[in-house]
Amino acid sequence: MEIDDEELVARAVRGDDNAFETLIARHQARVFSTVRRYARREHEIPDIAQDVFLKAHQKLATFRGESPFEHWLMRLAVRTCYDALRKHQRNRESAFTDLDDAETDWLDRLAVAPEKAGHEEDAARSLVKRLLDQLTPASRLVVTLLEIEGRTVKEIADLTGWSSTAVKVRAFRARREMRRRAARLALGKYL
C-alpha cells in the first residue's frame, strides 16, 4: 500500500531520509515544471529545484497538514523561483536585436498571415521566453501564474503571500509592461 504524503513528512521530520527521498521522487516532476517556467537559463533549473527541496526539508516541521503537501511544496517552489528571479534580475537582457532566423521568420509570417504562425512552434516559445526574461521579477511571476498557468487572484495571493489587492495591482502593471515589451518587439522588427 502506498504511504501518504503526511505520513512520509512525519517520518522525514524524525530523520528518515528514505521517506524524504520518496517525497522528492513523488513531487519532483511538478517542481521541475514550475521551475522551468521561471528559470532564465536551462542550467539553472536543477539548482533551483534542489533549493526548493532543501528548503522544504528545512521547513518540514512547519507543515501542519491543513492543506495537501503538494500545495505547501508549490508555495515554497513559487517563492524560491521568485527569489531566484530577484537574485538574477541584473542579468535581464535589454534588446531584441539578436533574434535568430527562426524567430524572425515566425514574426514575418505573423505580420503577413497570422494564421500561418502557429503558437506550438519552437520559435514562438523562444520569443515568449525572451519577452518574459525582460519583465521585472514581480511582473514575470504574475504573468506566469495568471496568464500562463491560469490561476485566480486568490490562488496567486495564497502562493505568493501577497494580498489580493497587491496581486491585482501587480497584474495590471505586468500586463502593461508585457504589452509595452511586445510592442517594442514588433517595432524593433518592422521599423
Partner 1 sequence: MNTDILLRKLMSAARQPGKDWSVPDAFEKRVLASLRQGRIRPAFPAVDWAAGLWRVSVSCVALAAVLGACCLSFPGAALGGEDLGVALEAVLWSGAEEALEVL
Q: Taking CB under 8 A as the rule, does residue 36 contact partner 1?
A: yes
Q: Taking CB under 8 A as the rule, does residue 191 contact partner 1?
A: no
Q: Taking CB under 8 A as the rule, does residue 127 contact partner 1?
A: yes
End-to-end CA distance of the chain: 64
Quote the CA–CA distance of 19 and 17 in Å, as a whole number.
5
Which one of residues 147, 161, 163, 176 is an interface residue with partner 1 (CB under 8 A)? 147
Question: Segment 148-167, which members bind partner 1 (CB under 8 A)?
Answer: 148
**Tell me, what amino acid is at 33?**
S
DSSP 175: H
Q: Where are the alpha helices (DSSP H) in the chain?
A: 5-13, 17-38, 44-59, 69-87, 101-112, 122-133, 137-143, 153-160, 164-190
Question: Segment 59-118, which members bind partner 1 (CB under 8 A)?
Answer: 107, 110-111, 114, 117
Which one of residues 49, 138, 141, 142 is an interface residue with partner 1 (CB under 8 A)? 49
Using alpha carbons, list the distances in angstroms from residue 136 to 56, 81, 83, 175: 26, 13, 12, 12
CB-based contact 65:14 (threshold 8 Å): no
Q: Which residues contact 173 (CB under 8 A, 6 or more apart)?
A: 138, 139
Which one of residues 4, 7, 16, 28 is an interface residue with partner 1 (CB under 8 A)? 28
Q: Taking CB under 8 A as the rule, does residue 50 contact partner 1?
A: yes
| Residue 57 or 75 with smaller CB distance to partner 1 | 57
**Residue numbers of the site for partner 1 (CB under 8 A)?**
17, 20-21, 24-25, 28-29, 32-33, 36, 46, 49-50, 53-54, 57, 107, 110-111, 114, 117, 119-122, 124-125, 127-129, 131-132, 144, 147-148, 178-179, 182-183, 185-186, 189-190
